[in-house]
């Protein structure tokens, strides 16, 4: 399968009709994404359908897991890296900022005392998340600042973490 190189002109050509459609009909821009998983019958794990394969998530070793399954905390950071990386590349393309190479790193700090109920005052979940971009580019400081500003602004996962969505839980009996 050959890859098509997309430059700023091609990206604008691809996105222009979509933007026009969404300006005309706001509801056309709204989509409900869905993730689905099945609880493993034998072990403490959940098999998540990724669209490409099944990803088996389990307990992190610091909560008693074997480490053989994926940790959902790692998966959250991986989703952030994927979204930020794609967004950065799209913004760089749109702004004609050449990147020879780039790496995206997400780090998050957890206190497993909260997750395991060891300390009711210890929070459950990430207390801080850091997103790091390592870029090989000749772009100037102003261009890089604009690139990062727009990447932060348009990265869906980053914005969802920064400004949490309304969340709810519902149970349906099988």
Q: Mind listing the pLDDT tens digit for each residue in 58-78? A: 999 999 999 999 999 999 999
pLDDT tens by residue, 14-40:
999 999 999 999 999 999 888 899 998
User: Which residue has 């890859």 as its token pair?
Assistant: 3
CB proximity list for 37: less than 8 A, separation 6 or greater: 46, 47, 48, 49, 57
What domains sit in the chain, N to C, each tagged with a CATH number?
71-162 (3.30.300.20)
pLDDT at 155 over 80: yes
Q: What three-state secondary structure class fits 81?
A: helix
Residue 137 banded pLDDT, cuts 50, 70, 90:
very high
- What is the token pair recorded at 35? 């993730």
pLDDT at 1: 56
pLDDT tens by residue, 81-93:
999 999 999 999 9
Q: What percent of the chain has pLDDT over 70?
A: 99
Mean pLDDT, residues 124-131 taken together = 96
Q: How far apart are CA 60 and CA 47, in angstroms?
A: 15
- What is the token pair recorded at 57? 């998530």
Q: How far apart are CA 146 and CA 152, in angstroms?
A: 10
User: Which residue has 């909560």 as its token pair?
Assistant: 63
Q: How far apart are CA 119 and CA 153, in angstroms?
A: 36
Q: What three-state secondary structure class fits 126?
A: strand
pLDDT at 4: 79
Mean pLDDT, residues 145-158 taken together = 98
- What is the token pair recorded at 149? 């500003």
Task: Compute the chain's Rg from CA coordinates.
Answer: 20
Give the global pTM.
0.89
Choice among 25-29, 31-35, 118-122, 150-154 with the minimum mean pLDDT:
31-35
Q: What three-state secondary structure class fits 60?
A: coil
pLDDT at 55 over 60: yes
150 to 65, 84, 100, 156: CA distances (angstroms): 38, 10, 19, 12
């Amino acid at each position: 399968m050959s890859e098509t190189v997309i430059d700023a002109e091609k990206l604008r050509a691809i996105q222009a009709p979509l933007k026009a459609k969404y300006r005309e009909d706001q509801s056309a821009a709204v989509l409900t994404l869905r993730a689905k998983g099945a609880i493993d019958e034998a072990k403490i794990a959940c098999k998540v359908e990724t669209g490409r394969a099944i990803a088996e998530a389990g307990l992190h070793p610091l909560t008693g897991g074997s480490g053989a399954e994926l940790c959902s905390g790692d998966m959250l950071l991986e989703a952030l890296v994927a979204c930020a990386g794609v967004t950065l590349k799209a913004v760089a393309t749109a702004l004609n900022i050449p990147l020879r190479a780039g790496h995206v790193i997400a780090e998050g700090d957890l206190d497993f005392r909260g997750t395991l109920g060891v300390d009711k005052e210890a929070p459950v979940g990430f207390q801080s998340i850091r997103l790091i971009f390592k870029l090989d580019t000749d772009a100037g400081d102003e261009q890089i600042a604009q690139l990062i500003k727009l990447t932060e602004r348009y990265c869906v996962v980053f914005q969802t973490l920064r400004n949490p969505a309304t969340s709810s839980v519902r149970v349906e009996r099988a």
